[in-house]
Amino acid sequence: MRLHIADHPLVAHKLTVLRDRGTDSPTFRRLADELVTLLTYEATRDVRTAEVAITTPVGPTTGTHLTSPKPLVVPILRAGLGMLDGMTRMLPTAEVGFLGMIRDEETLQATTYANRLPDDLSGRQCYVLDPMLATGGTLAAAIAYLFERGADDVTAITLLAAPEGLEALRQAIGDDDRVQVVTAAVDERLDENGYIVPGLGDAGDRLYGVV
């Protein structure tokens, strides 16, 4: 598994405002969106491309375009939805599939309650969106599921990751280089309730309100 921590002043600035408990939902949504756009730039360095011949107003040249099959973006409901627009703005030709996963607050185990993905993911590059890599259970299950369906490689984009979650993912995935995690920061630890410390609280609640 490869890990990329986006080390950039704009990323750090936006993340700091997201962490602040005084930041309201509309501001949180806008900043999460902007942050994901920056993370997408890093996460798509290996997106598949091909050369294409074009003609500029001045003459012929060779350029680059994204190839088929199109990348598949998979937000994990519900908090991953807050990352979708920021990603598809940069990758407008990508298709979007949905995975609904919830973790039991007692056992911290992830279960799938909704799934809307193409049946066959053969040859697809997948980008999973989940803002908080906490215990790693949700992402490990989502990544395993995408590979079962035939995905070629999977990049998980998160706003924050906990060391415990990264370690759990490494245990689940091993040294499979087809998996990459791109995150804005790795925080200190998880607390006894499975929240990332210092973190930013419950990402879904901060995006969409407490349910």
Chain positions contacting ligand URA, by CB under 6 A: 79, 132, 134, 194-196, 199, 202-204
Q: 132 or 179: whose CB is closer to ligand URA?
A: 132
> Which one-letter amino acid corresponds to residue 106?
E
Q: Which tokens sit at 36?
A: 């994901």
Type and span of the H or E element at 179: strand 179-186
Q: Give the Cα separation of 167 and 159 in Å (integer).
A: 17
Closest distance to ligand URA from the beta carbon of 172 (Å): 17
Closest CA to 203 of 163, 162, 160, 164: 160
Q: Where are the alpha helices (DSSP H) in 20-82?
A: 25-43
Q: Which tokens sit at 78?
A: 């519900």
The torsion angle over the Cα atoms of residues 32, 171, 3 and 175, rounded to 10 degrees, is -140
Q: 85 or 202: whose CB is closer to ligand URA?
A: 202
Type and span of the H or E element at 66: strand 60-66
Q: 91 or 143: whose CB is closer to ligand URA?
A: 143
Q: Give the Cα separation of 101 and 195 in Å (integer).
A: 17
Closest distance to ligand URA from the beta carbon of 130 (Å): 9
Q: 71 or 204: whose CB is closer to ligand URA?
A: 204
Closest distance to ligand URA from the beta carbon of 200 (Å): 7
Closest distance to ligand URA from the beta carbon of 159 (Å): 9
Q: 5 or 90: whose CB is closer to ligand URA?
A: 5
Type and span of the H or E element at 11: helix 9-19
Closest distance to ligand URA from the beta carbon of 145 (Å): 19
Q: 91 or 162: whose CB is closer to ligand URA?
A: 162
Q: Which tokens sit at 18?
A: 């997201």
Closest distance to ligand URA from the beta carbon of 47 (Å): 27
SS3 track for 97-119:
CEEEEEECCCCCCEEEEEEECCC
